[in-house]
């Protein structure tokens, strides 16, 4: 099926030669993918409102009204859509040129987060830079820019990808520095996502299998050591393994136990939109990290399955677009598309796994849906770049040029 490309998007590419100019203005784009992304964000707004409507009853949020988080999320979504449209207008070749600079700039922001007086702390973690009117979370930005940087690095170092010193080590050092900065915040969840993105792109780019396996084993050891050397992380792991003992259920496993209760109450079709009991100050962070638990309670297995299917659709399309780009020799674009698929897939999987008790509790939001400005904006920009890759693929296959 073919769809006419809106004039807002069509102007993002230079006119192709001679008779192709008119056809480029009517170039098709992946409309189903656009609708899935928009529906996820709108669905997320509804559930954020449902999960946060009772928060003003708590002294912590007494200064807010019942619509506070809904209105802010609506602003976040609007700004994110505009940001996505602007990102779509940037050619992929430009993103490739900017990739190293964006990576370094974001690493500098990660350093600023740790500077006393600049970084904003919430619940014991310093992950935000405050600009009075809005906050920026550099770790969210790094998830997108590590995709671009790893794809660009793989293309530039293609002939050295089977060598340790020239191909493998520089990228390992770069990711290691990012990881160190994230662990100092601390943000182990974001570090895990970024490592998966970088390793996934290197694997798809043809890195030596021995080095890949070696670094994989090393990372497992590093994560294990981080957990073992951190008393509160150890306690969280032990609580995760047995959340129903009284000590754990009232302590480190409090969120997990109430999340599982929410899913249990939801059963097949849920208790009804707005009918959640767990969101009534029993389940902490219900509008952010544990939004899926509220979906499970209010809309049941059917609601959770719908969310899973929509995320599956996005990841599937990302890999299809990536394969298509590589098939027409657009290697950077192809690796970027697949990297975006890995990013969205890994973060969604970890968030869902935490909510369902399959993984230890981590502070990761559900992409596109959970409350938050930086996360939704960067998600939209990443998916807009994916749409741009698809647009350029279709343009190239019709004989045009970007």
- Range in 31-35, 182-186, 257-261 with the lowest mean pLDDT: 182-186
Q: Is residue 94 part of a domain?
A: yes
Closest CA to 365 of 375, 373, 357: 375
Instruction: Tell me what the pLDDT averaged over the chain comes to.
Output: 86
Residue 136: pLDDT above 70? yes
Q: Is residue 178 part of a domain?
A: yes
Residue 12: pLDDT above 60? no
Helix residue ranges, H only, 89-208: 92-113, 138-156, 169-184, 188-204
Residue 326: pLDDT above 70? yes
pLDDT value at position 248?
A: 79
Contact 304, 296 (CB under 8 A): yes
Q: Is residue 31 part of a domain?
A: yes
pLDDT value at position 172?
A: 85
Count of the separate structural domains present in the chain:
1
Q: Is residue 2 part of a domain?
A: no
Say what the pTM is.
0.88
Cis before residue 233, ω within 30 degrees of 0?
A: no
Q: What percent of the chain has pLDDT over 90?
A: 56
- Range in 245-249, 273-277, 292-296, 383-387 with the lowest mean pLDDT: 245-249
Burial (CB < 10 A; 0-12, 13-18, 19+), residue 386, is buried
Q: Is residue 369 part of a domain?
A: yes
Q: How confident is the model at residue 27 (pLDDT cuts 50, 70, 90)?
A: low
Range of the domain at 82: 7-397
Residue 2: pLDDT above 60? no
Q: How confident is the model at residue 6 (pLDDT cuts 50, 70, 90)?
A: very low
Tell me the C-alpha to C-alpha distance, in Å, between residue 165 and each of 169, 203, 362. Answer: 5, 17, 34
Helix residue ranges, H only, 209-274: 209-229, 231-241, 246-249, 254-266
Q: Is residue 1 part of a domain?
A: no
pLDDT value at position 116?
A: 82
Q: Is residue 268 part of a domain?
A: yes
Q: How confident is the model at residue 402 (pLDDT cuts 50, 70, 90)?
A: low
Contacts of residue 264, defined as CB under 8 A and 6 or more positions apart, other chains included, come to none
First to last CA, the chain: 23
Contacts of residue 236, defined as CB under 8 A and 6 or more positions apart, other chains included, come to 252, 360, 361
Q: How confident is the model at residue 208 (pLDDT cuts 50, 70, 90)?
A: low
Higher pLDDT, 311 or 61: 311
Q: Is residue 91 part of a domain?
A: yes
- Range in 47-56, 121-130, 363-372, 373-382 with the lowest mean pLDDT: 121-130
Residue 109: pLDDT above 80? yes
Contacts of residue 383, defined as CB under 8 A and 6 or more positions apart, other chains included, come to 33, 37, 84, 314, 340, 344
How many Å apart are CA 33 and CA 206, to the nearest integer? Answer: 28
């Amino acid at each position: 099926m073919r769809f006419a490309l809106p004039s807002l998007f069509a102007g993002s590419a230079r006119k192709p030669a001679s008779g192709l100019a008119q056809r480029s203005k009517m170039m098709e784009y992946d409309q189903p993918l656009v609708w899935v992304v928009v529906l996820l964000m709108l669905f997320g707004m509804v559930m954020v409102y449902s999960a946060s409507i009772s928060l003003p009853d708590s002294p912590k949020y007494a200064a807010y009204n019942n619509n506070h988080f809904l209105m802010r999320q609506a602003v976040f979504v609007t700004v994110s859509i505009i940001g996505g449209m602007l990102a779509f207008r940037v050619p992929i070749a430009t993103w490739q040129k900017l990739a190293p600079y964006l990576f370094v700039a974001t690493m500098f922001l990660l350093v600023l987060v740790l500077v006393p007086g600049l970084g904003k702390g919430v619940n014991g973690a310093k992950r935000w830079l405050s600009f009075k009117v809005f906050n920026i979370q550099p770790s969210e930005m790094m998830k997108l820019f590590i995709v671009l940087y790893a794809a660009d690095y793989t293309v530039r170092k293609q002939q050295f990808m089977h060598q340790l010193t020239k191909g493998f080590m520089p990228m390992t050092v770069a990711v290691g520095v990012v990881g160190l900065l994230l662990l100092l915040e601390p943000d182990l969840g974001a570090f895990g996502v970024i490592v998966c993105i970088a390793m996934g792109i290197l694997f798809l780019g043809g890195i030596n299998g021995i080095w890949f396996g070696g670094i994989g084993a090393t990372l497992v050891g590093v994560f294990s050591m981080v957990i073992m050397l951190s008393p509160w992380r150890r306690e969280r792991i032990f609580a995760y393994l047995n959340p129903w003992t009284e000590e754990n259920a009232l302590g480190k496993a409090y969120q997990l136990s109430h999340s599982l209760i929410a899913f249990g109450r939801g059963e097949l079709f849920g208790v009804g939109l707005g009918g959640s009991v767990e969101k009534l100050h029993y389940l902490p962070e219900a509008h952010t990290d544990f939004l899926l638990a509220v979906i499970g309670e209010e809309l049941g297995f059917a609601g959770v399955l719908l969310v899973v299917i929509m995320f599956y659709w996005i990841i599937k399309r990302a890999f299809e677009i990536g394969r298509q780009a590589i098939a027409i020799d657009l290697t950077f674009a192809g690796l970027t598309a697949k990297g975006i698929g890995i990013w969205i897939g890994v973060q969604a999987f970890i968030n869902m796994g935490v909510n369902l008790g399959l993984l230890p509790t981590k502070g990761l939001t559900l992409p596109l849906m959970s409350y938050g400005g930086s996360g939704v904006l960067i998600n939209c920009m990443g998916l807009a770049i994916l749409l741009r890759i698809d647009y350029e693929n279709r343009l190239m296959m019709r004989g045009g040029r970007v």
